Amino acid sequence: MVDVVVLWSALVTSSLLSLLTIGLTLTYLTTRVPNFAHGSFASVGIYVGLVTAQVWGFNMYFGLLPGFLIGGAVALMQYLLFLRPMTRRNASVTALMVATIAFDILLIAILNIFADYLQNSFRLNSRYFLLSPYDFQIFGLRGIIVVAPVLVVAVVASLYLLLNKTKFGIAMRATIENPPLAGTIGINTNLVYIVSWFIAGGLAGMAGSVMSLWYIGNTDVGSNFFLISIFAAGVIGGIYNIYGAVIGAFIIGTVQSVLISTLATSFGAGIIPYQPLIPLIAMVATLLIAPSGIMGINYRALKKKLWRKPDAS
């Protein structure tokens, strides 16, 4: 049987991954470019969390709001300073992807400079730190186990309300569906893009600000450890669907944690480091079998195909 700790780990991983994947999907929907810097928004959040806990001395969870704001601001900067000028000059998708990678490298460099600054000025351990002692206990569990899923539910609910019940949300959906047409009927598509990038970066920063309660925090956690999982989750959920992103994230997060621990009990602990192979294989398999992801499958057609009775003739 699978250990309970593994299940908690799966829950926390899936929840944090959901927050990240929702953002990736939002930016992909609006700008049509996979943002390779998305993982580093979470790294930005990790340092917001570190500063909250160790420099300001607040409870870690007070970092959620500054994490959201700073993550959003960074994402907005990426969009306004680099991606928008490029799309206006008709840059190709590949050029935009290169620009996101360049921004990722830029962010990692800035984070490292900031980590050096923290180390020199505040004598903090600013690399490979684990902040789990700053967590609180609830029902005998670590706080993050409860907070992370609650956060996902709250975010999904508020996104649902925003996209379906408000005028601006409907304008957002219209812009995603058909930007020129939305512009024609008077929707401010620029504002829609800006808001989606801000929310995307904000969710990633928020996830990052509590990430080091469970994972070891470093400047490259987002870009090395999480990036591939984010993309895999996005692809599995069907990268055109925000709710699919949550489903994809839970699939990837659960499979990663449970499968690896199951394999480790039968093949030994040496197999654990190969965890990054799972999202890669999952992503390739999804693209080969169902390229539009779980939410993109036409289930009615599939059912017809599978349950069709063999013809008599």
Partner 1 sequence: MLPSTDLFILNLLATFAPYLIVTVSLNLEYGYGGVPNFGKVLAVAGGAFMAGVIPGRLLAAVLGIDQGNFIGNNSQIIVKENGVLITSASLSLEIFVFTLLVSALVGALLGVIVAYPTRRLRADYLGMVLLAAGQVILVIGNNYPPLIGGTLGVSVPDPFQWAGSFAFAGLTPGDVRNIMAVAFMMIVAVIVFLYARRLTHSPLGRMLRAVRDDENSVLALGKDVERTRFKVIVFASAIAAVAGALYAFYTANVFYATFNRTGWTFWPWVMVILGGAANDWGVVAGTFIFVAVRQTITFYRDVFAPFLPFDVVWLDTLLLGLALLIILIYRPDGLIREKPIKTIKNAKPPFTGTEEAASPDSASERQEQSKGGLVDGLRSLFKSKKKSSPEKG
Nearer to partner 1, 11 or 260 (CB): 260
Q: What's the closest the beta carbon of residue 88 comes to partner 1, in angstroms?
A: 9
41 CB-contact burial (10 Å; exposed 0-12 / middle 13-18 / buried 19+): buried
Measured from the CB atom, the residue of 56 and 117 that comes closer to partner 1 is 117
264-278 CB burial, b ≥16 within 10 A, e <16? eeeeeeebeeebeeb
- Using DSSP's 3-state secondary structure scheme, residue 137 falls into strand
- Which residues here bind partner 1, judged by CB under 8 A? 32-34, 36, 82, 85-86, 89, 91-95, 97-99, 101-103, 105-106, 108-110, 112-113, 116-117, 120, 224, 227-228, 231-232, 235, 270, 273-274, 276-277, 279-280, 283-284, 287-288, 291
Instruction: Give the CB-side neighbour count of residue 206, counting CA atoms within 13 A.
Output: 28
How far apart (Å, rounded) are the C-alpha atoms in residues 82 and 73?
Answer: 14
Burial 109-120 (b: 16+ CB within 10 A, else e): eebbebbeebee
Minimum Å gap between C-beta 47 and partner 1 is 14
For the bound state, the minimum distance from the C-beta of residue 152 to partner 1, rounded and expressed in Å, comes to: 23
The nearer residue to partner 1, 134 or 231, going by C-beta atoms, is 231
- Closest separation in Å from C-beta 272 to partner 1: 9
Contact 233, 248 (CB under 8 A): yes
Closer Cβ to partner 1, 93 or 302, answer by number: 93
Q: How far is the CB of 163 from partner 1 (least distance, A)?
A: 23
* Complex with partner 1: residue 187 or 242, whichever CB lies closer: 242
Distance from C-alpha of 44 to C-alpha of 239, rounded to nearest angstrom = 24
